[in-house]
Amino acid sequence: MQIRVALPKGRLLPETAQLTSEASWQLSDYSEGARLYHMTSARFPEMAAKILHEKDIPIQVAIGNYDLGICGLDWIQELLMKYPSSGLVKLKDLGYGALELYLATARSSPFTDLAKAGRSEQVISIASEYPCLAESLALNCRFKRFNIFPVWGAVEIYPPENADLVLLPFRTGQEMTTGDLTPVVKVLHSTAYLIANKNSWANKDLTDVLNSLYVKSSAPAVSSTPVEIRSGPIPKAPARPFSADYIRLALPDGHAQRHVVNILNKAGIKIDNYPSTDGSRRPEIDLPGVTVKVIRPQDMPLQVANGKFDIAITGQDWVKEHLYQFPSSPIKELLDLKYSRVRIVAAIHNDVPVNDITGLQKWAAAEGKRLRLAAEYTRIADKYARDNHLGMYRIIPTWGATEAFLPDDADVLIENTETGGTLKRHNLKIIETLFESTACLIAGVPALNSPKADQINNIAAVLRKAVEES
Partner 1 sequence: MKIEKSKGMRDLFPADMARFRLINEVFRDSCLKWGYEEVRTPTLESLHLFTSAGTLTPSMLGKVYSFLDWDGWSGERVVLRPDATIPVARLYNENMADKELAKLFYIVNTFIFEENSKKNREKWQFGAELIGMRSPLADVELIVLAMEVLKKLGLNKVELKLSHAGLTRGILQKLGMNQEEQHQVFDKLLDGDASVLNQLQKEKPGLAPLLALQGQSSGFVKNLAAALALDAPELKPQIDDLVFIADTLKSLGQDFQIDIASVRGFEYYTGVIFQLFINDEKVGGGGRYDDLITAMGGKPTSASGFALYVDLLMTLIPASKLNDQPSSRVLLKMDADAAKAGFAMAEQLREAGCTVKLHLGGKGPAEMEWKLEVHTKAPWLVLTDLSNNKKYEMQTSKEVLEKLGRPSVAD
Residue 335 interacting with partner 1 (CB under 8 A): no
Give the interface segment with partner 1, choosing from 51-59, 202-210, 300-308, 355-363 (CB under 8 A).
300-308
User: Nearer to partner 1 by C-beta: 112 or 329?
Assistant: 329
How many other C-beta atoms can be found within 10 angstroms of the C-beta atom of residue 444? 26
Which residues lie below 8 Å from residue 316, measured CB to CB, with a gap of 6+? 333, 336, 435, 437, 438, 439, 440
| Binding residue for partner 1, selected from 147, 177, 217, 273, defined by CB under 8 A | 147
H or E element in which residue 263 lies: helix 257-266
Residue 326 interacting with partner 1 (CB under 8 A): yes
> In whole angstroms, how close is the CB of 206 to partner 1 at the nearest point?
26
Q: How many CA atoms lie within 13 Å of 106's alpha carbon, on the beta-carbon side?
A: 18
SS3 389: coil
Task: Tabulate helix, strand, coil % of the chain (nearest 5).
Answer: 35, 30, 40
How many other C-beta atoms can be found within 10 angstroms of the C-beta atom of residue 347? 24
How many other C-beta atoms can be found within 10 angstroms of the C-beta atom of residue 313? 22
| Binding residue for partner 1, selected from 144, 216, 266, 379, defined by CB under 8 A | 144
Contacts with partner 1 by CB under 8 A: the residue count is 29
Give the interface segment with partner 1, choosing from 64-72, 138-146, 205-213, 271-279 (CB under 8 A).
138-146
Q: How many CA atoms lie within 13 Å of 159's alpha carbon, on the beta-carbon side?
A: 30
Distances (CA, A) of 147 to 75, 130, 234, 445: 21, 13, 28, 21
Q: Is the dihedral of CA 406, 409, 414, 416 positive or negative?
A: negative
Please tell me the distance from the alpha carbon of residue 334 to that of residue 456, in angstroms, as a whole number: 9
Contact 348, 431 (CB under 8 A): yes
> In whole angstroms, how close is the CB of 153 to partner 1 at the nearest point?
18
| Binding residue for partner 1, selected from 257, 306, 350, 361, defined by CB under 8 A | 306
| Binding residue for partner 1, selected from 18, 31, 139, 362, defined by CB under 8 A | 139
Give the interface segment with partner 1, choosing from 91-99, 137-145, 251-259, 356-364 (CB under 8 A).
137-145
Q: What letter does residue 41 receive in the DSSP assignment?
A: B
Contact 79, 71 (CB under 8 A): no
Residue 116 interacting with partner 1 (CB under 8 A): no
> In whole angstroms, how close is the CB of 439 to partner 1 at the nearest point?
21
Which residues lie below 8 Å from residue 231, measured CB to CB, with a gap of 6+? 175, 176, 177
Residue 327 interacting with partner 1 (CB under 8 A): yes
Paired with 271 in beta bridges are 285
Largest CA distance in the chain: 69
> In whole angstroms, how close is the CB of 328 to partner 1 at the nearest point?
6
Give the interface segment with partner 1, choosing from 31-39, 222-230, 320-328, 353-361 (CB under 8 A).
320-328
| Binding residue for partner 1, selected from 66, 102, 143, 405, defined by CB under 8 A | 143
> In whole angstroms, how close is the CB of 81 to partner 1 at the nearest point?
8
Contact 427, 419 (CB under 8 A): no
| Binding residue for partner 1, selected from 107, 142, 230, 341, defined by CB under 8 A | 142
How many other C-beta atoms can be found within 10 angstroms of the C-beta atom of residue 182? 16
Give the interface segment with partner 1, choosing from 1-9, 147-155, 433-441, 454-462 (CB under 8 A).
147-155
Residue 325 interacting with partner 1 (CB under 8 A): yes
User: Nearer to partner 1 by C-beta: 40 or 120?
Assistant: 120
> In whole angstroms, how close is the CB of 329 to partner 1 at the nearest point?
4
Residue 92 interacting with partner 1 (CB under 8 A): no
> In whole angstroms, how close is the CB of 380 to partner 1 at the nearest point?
16
For the chain, the distance separating the N- and C-terminal CA atoms, rounded to the nearest angstrom, is: 59
Contact code string over 343-382 relative to partner 1, x by CB under 8 A: -------------------------x-x------------
Contact 215, 23 (CB under 8 A): yes
Residue 84 interacting with partner 1 (CB under 8 A): yes
User: Nearer to partner 1 by C-beta: 17 or 305?
Assistant: 305
Residue 393 interacting with partner 1 (CB under 8 A): no
How many other C-beta atoms can be found within 10 angstroms of the C-beta atom of residue 349? 18
> In whole angstroms, how close is the CB of 303 to partner 1 at the nearest point?
10
Residue 322 interacting with partner 1 (CB under 8 A): yes
SS3 398: coil
> In whole angstroms, how close is the CB of 173 to partner 1 at the nearest point?
33
Q: Which positions lie near partner 1, rule CB under 8 A? A: 84-85, 123, 125, 136, 138-140, 142-149, 302, 305-306, 322, 325-330, 368, 370, 392
